[in-house]
Structure 1
Amino acid sequence: MHAGVAPGQDTEVDEALAAWIVDRVRAGEPPEAVLAPLVEDGWSEDAAIDAVERVTRRFLEQHALDQGLPVPVRVPAPIVGNGSAVLDAGDRRVHVLASLLHPRVIVFGGLLSDDECDALVEVAGKRLSRSATFNLDSGVDEVHEGRTSQGMFFERGADALCRRIEARIATLLDWPVDHGEGLQVLRYGPGAQYRPHHDYFDPQRPGTKALLARGGQRVASLVMYLNTPACGGATTFPDARFEVAPVKGNAVFFSYDRPHPMTGTLHGGAPVVSGEKWVATKWLRERRYV
C-alpha cells in the first residue's frame, strides 16, 4: 500500500493515504483493520494510530460543517469491537454484557458490589427531595412532570465511598476523575419514571452558556443500578428500540459526541411497575468540571 510518508514519521499524510483511510472508516472497518496495513508497511503502532485519528477527525469535522451540524468531540471509549469481555477497573473486574455501536451504549456487569450499592442507598436515603431538571431557558432547577423520582447529589469526592467509585469509573472509562460531575442518586417508587430525554445541553438555549463554562458539554453518562426492582424500571433507548434491565451492581454507559439527536441517545427511565428502583448517575464532561 502507498503510505504517503516515511514509516513512523509524525507528520501529515498525503491525500492518497488520507482518502484510503476515510474509505476504510466509511466502510465500517474496525480500527485494527485500518491500522494493520500501516504497521505492515513499517509504521510504528503509535504513529499509525495518530495518523488514522487525525485523518478521521478532519473528515468528521468537515462533514459536520458541510451539513450544518455540531462538530464532534472526543468521548470516552472504554472498549473496542469484539474485545475482552472482562475489563480491569483498577480495584475490580467488570464484565461487558452488551454493546451497541449506534447509539454507543455499553452494559457493564458487576461495576458495584452489593455492599457499595447498599451504602449509597443508606446515605442518600436520608437526603432525598423531589427531583428537578435544569430549565435551560430560565436558568434554574425546576420540578418537571416528566421526572417523578426523588434524588440528591454528592459533591465529587464527597467521602471515601464516592472517591473509590469515581476512581473505578475513571479507570474503566479512561476519563479523568475531574472531568466528571458528582454522583446523583435517584429513587423511583411505584409508577415513577423519567420520560425520554437527552443528557447533553442544548446549545441554542439561553441557560446553556453558564453550564458549559463549568467544564464544557456532557459527553457521556453512566447509570448504575443500586437495587433490582421487582418489576419495571428499565432504561430505554427509543431510537434503538433497546432497553436495559435494572440489575443491582450493573450499569449502562452511553456517549454522545455532539449535542444533537443524531447521536441516538434519547433515553428514559420506564415506570416502576412493582417495588422501587435506586440508581446512581455519573455525567462526564469535555473538560475539567468545576
Structure 2
Amino acid sequence: MTDTLFQLLPGLLGPADLAVVRQGLSEADAAASTVSGLADRPVVGLARRSTRLTAPAAIEALLRERLLAVRPRLEALFDRPLGDLEPLQILRYGPGDYFVAHQDGNTPLIHDDTRHRRVSLSLLLSPPEDWTGGALLFHPGQQEAPGAAGDAVAFRAETTHEVTPLEAGQRLSVAAWFRTA
C-alpha cells in the first residue's frame, strides 16, 4: 500500500445503481446512529449525530455485492487477507450532524468486537454538490477525502478520521468494515 491514509475507489456504484439505491432509501426506516459499545447512552450525542437508515433487502444486497466485489483489490492494496463484511451502516447526515475524530477498530486499547475490523470503507451515495461541510477528514494532517457519488474511500480500521459538521443539505453514505480472515 502507498503511504496515503486512504485509497479512493472511484465509480464503485455507477449512475444506474446510485439511482436505484437512492430511490430505495427514500422511504427507509430511520433511527439515530449509535457508536459501537455505546448504543442508547447519552454520550452518543457527544461523539456522533447522524441518522441510520434501514435499507430494503434488495438495496442492502446490491450494496453488499458491490463492496464484496472489491475485496480482492483491497487485500492487495492493504497487503492483508480480509474476511466477511460486517452489517452495513447506511447514514444520513443533515445540518449540524457530525462524527468526531475516531478509529473504527483494530486498536490495542479496545477489547470489544471492533478489534476484528481490518479495513473500513465509506461509500458516498449523494453528490458533494448536495451539501456543505460534512467533510471526511483523515488525521494526522486533516487530509480531506475527495470523491463523487458512487466513489468509496478505503482505509485501515485503525486510521483516525472524522466527519465534520454538516452545514447545509444532506449527505448519504455507507459505512462498511471488512473483518479478519
Using the size of structure 2 for normalisation, the TM-score is: 0.78
Letter in 2 for 1:236: L
Letter in 2 for 1:219: R
* 2:169 corresponding residue in structure 1: 275
Deviation at 1:159, TM superposition (A): 5.4
* 2:18 corresponding residue in structure 1: 117
Contact 1:157 1:182 in 2 (8 A): no
- Unmatched segments (≥5 aa) in structure 2: none
CA separation in 2, counterparts of 1:218 and 1:240?
A: 23
Closer, same or farther: CA 155–171 of 1 in aligned 2, 3 Å? farther
* 1:132 corresponding residue in structure 2: 34
CA separation in 2, counterparts of 1:177 and 1:106?
A: 16
* 1:85 corresponding residue in structure 2: none
Alignment pair present for 1:192 and 2:102: no
RMSD: 3.0
Alignment pair present for 1:250 and 2:151: yes
Match of 1:169 among 47, 70, 73: 70
Greater percentage in strand: 2
The higher-RCO structure (CA 8 Å, 6+ apart) is 2
Contact 1:189 1:275 in 2 (8 A): yes
Q: State the structure with more CA Rg.
A: 1
CA separation in 1, counterparts of 2:116 and 2:151?
A: 25
Letter in 1 for 2:153: V
Identity rate of aligned residues, in percent? 25
The total of aligned residue pairs comes to 171
- Unmatched segments (≥5 aa) in structure 1: 1-79, 82-100, 260-264
Greater percentage in helix: 1
Deviations 1:103-147 (A, max 9, x none): 3x1122211112322333333441221001122xxxx52351121
Match of 1:221 among 120, 124, 128: 120
Alignment of 1:53-202 (within 5 A): 101-103=3-5, 105-125=6-26, 126-135=28-37, 141-142=39-40, 144-145=44-45, 146-152=47-53, 160-174=61-75, 178-200=83-105, 202=107
CA separation in 1, counterparts of 2:13 and 2:137?
A: 21
Deviation at 1:281, TM superposition (A): 1.5
